[in-house]
Each structure stands twice: as C-alpha cells, then as structure tokens.
Amino acid sequence: MSTRRVVLTTSVDERGAEYLDALREAGLEPERIDAHVVDLPLADIGGVVLAGGIDVDPATYGAPGTPFIGPTEPERDLFEALLLKTARDEGIPTLCICRGLQLANAAFGGTLIDDVPHALGAKATVPHSVEGPDGKVERGLLDAHLVRIDPDTLLERIVGTRVLVTGSRHHQAVDRCAPDLQIVAKTDDGIVEALEARFPSPFWLAVQWHPESTRTLDNGASRKLFAAFADAVRG
C-alpha cells in the first residue's frame, strides 16, 4: 500500500464511496476532503482526484447563469481550482473525473457548454445521460457511448485501445478548451471526453465518464486508469 497522501475532493454532502473504493483497490489510501478544509498543507500530498457531482457555476468560467444550470457549489469550484493550480505548480499527479474534467477546464481558462442536448439539438446522436425505467440515471456502460481516443496519448497508452465503450451521466461539457490542456478523446457528436495537460506533469488526466462505476464492466479499462494514477503517486 502507498503511504503517500491522496486527496479526493467532493461536494460537502457527498461521501465519494465509489471513488474511494476504486483508489483503495489500486493500492492507495485516499482521504476525502471538501471546500470546508481551511488549511490544506500540500507538502505530504502525493495525488489529487477530483470527483463528479453537481454543475459547475457558470461564473467560474465567466459566463452568465442559464435556465439549464442546476444546483451549484461555488465554494467547491474555487477550492478545487486553487487545488488544481497548486498541483500543477508542484507537479502532483492529478486525476479528474466527469465534473472534475469540466472544473479543470474552467479553472485553467476554458469554457463549458451549459447543456449538451440544448447545444447539439438535432446533431445529438450519442446518449450522454440515460434514465432507466425507475427514473434513475444509468450508471453502467452505454453501448452507444463510444469514446474515440487520439493516438500517441497518455490515455491510449493506459487503456490500450483507441475506441472505448464507457458510461455517461452529464449534461455540461467542454466548449473552448483551456490553453494549458489538450483534447485527446471525443464521442462521435464532438463532445469532449478526455483532456491531458500541455504542462509538464508526472500524471495529469481528466475523463468525462465515470470509471469508478464501471470497474467490473469494461474488461479492465477503468481499473487501468486508477492503476496508472496509483503508479504515478508511488513513483
């Protein structure tokens, strides 16, 4: 087991059980934190993970509110933005998931689509959130949600394929990519599914889907993401 401290950021009312389980499975000892943390010493932190959650506040990327935005947590946006920038400056391995990808793009100067179905309209050909008969959002794999990964990228090297079936449960997405980041995967309708860093980092990856929920469903691809992050933490 790694003795280096790994922090998982969530909303104040979220426990992050699936994320914590995935990180422990990869041999790490994660600690959940949120925006209520007053003083976070980074000297002993070996890795940062941003979890999914509620919408990113449009003010975070300099946009007005819209009717499509649901509940937000501005304090979390600010907290995570500062944490991301410090992790970048200190060379701390970083993994961002779903909302984490969106927040990272906003924190580094990019913008977001406020609502994918509204933005795509008739061009919407890929399901990015599906409700089951019980009204709950599907948390498993979606056969129609194919992520196409660019060659010669960290993500391709980790999962070992250029086409990956994933889950999906989001309605915000990357619009303009931040200058510090680069797009490395999309779905066929053009929605950004993964970002990597342009700046030097031992590990920096953001994915739009939820690998913590599909670890037993995708022939090991999700586990490979957490394992690669864990290797960077230990390294």
Cβ within 8 Å of residue 23, ≥6 positions away: 6, 8, 30, 49, 226, 230
Within a 10 A sphere around the Cβ of 181, how many other Cβ atoms?
A: 23
Show pLDDT as tens, one digit a residue, over the chain (235 residues). Answer: 446 789 999 999 899 999 999 999 999 999 999 999 877 777 689 999 999 999 999 999 999 999 999 999 999 999 999 999 999 999 999 999 999 999 999 999 999 999 999 999 988 889 899 887 787 888 999 999 999 999 999 999 999 999 999 999 999 999 999 999 999 999 999 999 999 999 999 999 999 999 999 999 999 999 999 999 999 999 9
From the number of C-beta atoms within 10 Å of its C-beta (0-12, 13-18, 19+), residue 139 rates as middle
- Give the amino acid at 84: L
pTM reported for the whole predicted model? 0.95
- Domains identified in the chain and CATH numbers: 5-234 (3.40.50.880)
Cβ within 8 Å of residue 195, ≥6 positions away: 96, 101, 104, 105, 174, 177, 181, 182, 183, 184, 205, 206
Give CA–CA dist 208/210, Å, rounded.
7
pLDDT confidence of residue 78 = 96
Give CA–CA dist 8/4, Å, rounded.
13
**Which residues are catalytically annotated?**
98, 210, 212
How is residue 47 written in tokens?
């890795």
Nearest to 155 by CA among 114, 106, 101: 101
